[in-house]
Chain A
């Protein structure tokens, strides 16, 4: 008798379904590609600048300015023009990707980690751990975020930094002020998910098999919330990029002379009506980067929950 080979019917996990849907979303894939491209640019910034024949970002070319010290418009030597001390705008934008992406990935990553751990413990153990966490989150969430960031950023501006030197000015401080108001967001989401998941059968099953609490939290519950975490993470990254840029715009973020897109816009703010280029291009860089992340996040969200798909 001939054996009929039946196709295997395998149940697809939610994660697999998620990836499948994502693969068909062209817009999301394009934005993913853009993000990968930007990351490469950030890593190879010196190479990019050299390939394009642009001057290095810290080189001030005062000869390019007019006698009043005004910035030079886009020209052959400076394809996107210069700022008001003669530094090339294109190079500074390229190097600026480093700042934006570093801060975004690092800060979001740390916030994610802290939020997940906090949310897991609070949601799983409940009781006083949960109360303590929720009350602390309440306080953090009541504090006006931007003022907190401006305050800490401003206080830690001097060379010795603050908190006994733990927070040096620049990236360290910026990451700190972004992590603090961001991790409650993740903690709340994770906590909510854990609260509903902990009652499910697979958790009970694991417990009856003698699994430790830690094992249950990290091996059983965590994998089930990875997908939404990826989505929320990807949505928070653009917000954090904008946040860092806003802090640099206000002068309490990335230190001079490191190029940050927000700081470049701040420099340009006084002369934007005559020297439009060094206000426009950093802003466009910000816009496009954030847009890419938003599109990707959108795509991820649709893949996770197809009912809201376009």
Chain B
């Protein structure tokens, strides 16, 4: 098992290097903009644009063989030898790590909160629907879940704001848009909680639907199995049968996709963060891509990839505990 984990961690490092290389290609080589000119400003005389270009290190060739002084070499030297993600052009040479650090809490809060909400909804709904299959309740909830999956999350967010935003909504209830308090959770917990309610619900909606349906279909499959029929024949209550055997077998696929989904969300839920203007990593990534702030882009992409890979690894490890057939 330990050997397996070590192997996976090594592979993770390889993957991260591959991801950073792809990022470099996409964001350094592809685009045609000139970050130096953008940074120097619209009225800067050419000499100043050149000075800024030198400051940002953009006067070096992007890629040079064999491993001579070039932008790609500088980047990997900093990253691998000094664990330094560089500085941001857009934010006055603030270290990229600082920018990410400041925004990480909001993204984590958004992701974890949404996970809690959707599990709290999906588990009972999934179980109930399976128990009462083909009833009106079942059909209604399955219909609702399909709608939740089909609605774009940002549109759902706007509709929620339209209805419930405290300043603008028809039925003012909670602060919504652009209301994440400056100090975050530790600054003003009450305001923080209020401002996160709508984003959590909106983000959780489609996931809750997916998980409820998944749980339901897994339970239905299990309910037809022989050993379950035996248990029923022995006189156990339907509910106990389903919950004991069904849920246990459904846990594995749910844990799998939970890991994947959480991995993606920790990299930043760009759409939700945009609609509610939550200062998270997703928003940072988007802003830096649009502004061609290369170092920040690399930083955020690496973080996102890191979360995806780590969560995948955790899921695989969890598997070995959940499913005794799986051995590493």
Contacts and interface: CB of A to CB of B under 8 A. Distances in A.
B38 interface: no
B150 A155 contact: no
A158 B32 contact: yes
A273 B149 contact: no
How would you classify the secondary structure of chain B's contact residues: helix, strand, loop or mixed?
A: helix
A217 to B, nearest CB: 29
Interface of B: 11, 15-16, 18-19, 22-23, 26-27, 30-32, 133-134, 138-139, 142, 146-147, 149-152, 154-155, 158-159, 161-162, 165, 168-169, 217, 220-221, 224, 264, 267-268, 270-271, 274-275, 285-286, 289-290, 292, 297, 300-301, 304-305, 308-309
Contact of A273 (B23, B169, B264): B169
The 8 closest A-B pairs by CB, nearest first: A283-B155, A144-B304, A273-B168, A290-B150, A155-B31, A291-B150, A155-B30, A162-B30
A150 interface: yes
B154 A249 contact: yes
Nearest to B31: A155
Given A139-B19, A286-B155, A144 B301 contact: yes
Interface of A: 138-139, 141-148, 150-152, 154-156, 158, 160, 162-163, 238, 242, 245-246, 249-252, 262, 265, 268-269, 272-273, 276, 279-280, 282-283, 286-288, 290-291, 294-295, 298, 307-308, 310
B267 A144 contact: yes
13 contacts: A139-B19, A142-B19, A142-B305, A144-B267, A147-B289, A150-B285, A151-B27, A156-B30, A249-B154, A272-B158, A279-B159, A290-B150, A294-B146
Contacts of B149: 290, 294
B152 A265 contact: yes
B154 A246 contact: yes
Contacts of A298: 146
Contacts of B16: 142
Contacts of B19: 139, 142-143
B134 A283 contact: no
Contacts of B267: 144, 147
Given A151-B26, A307-B224, A142 B158 contact: no
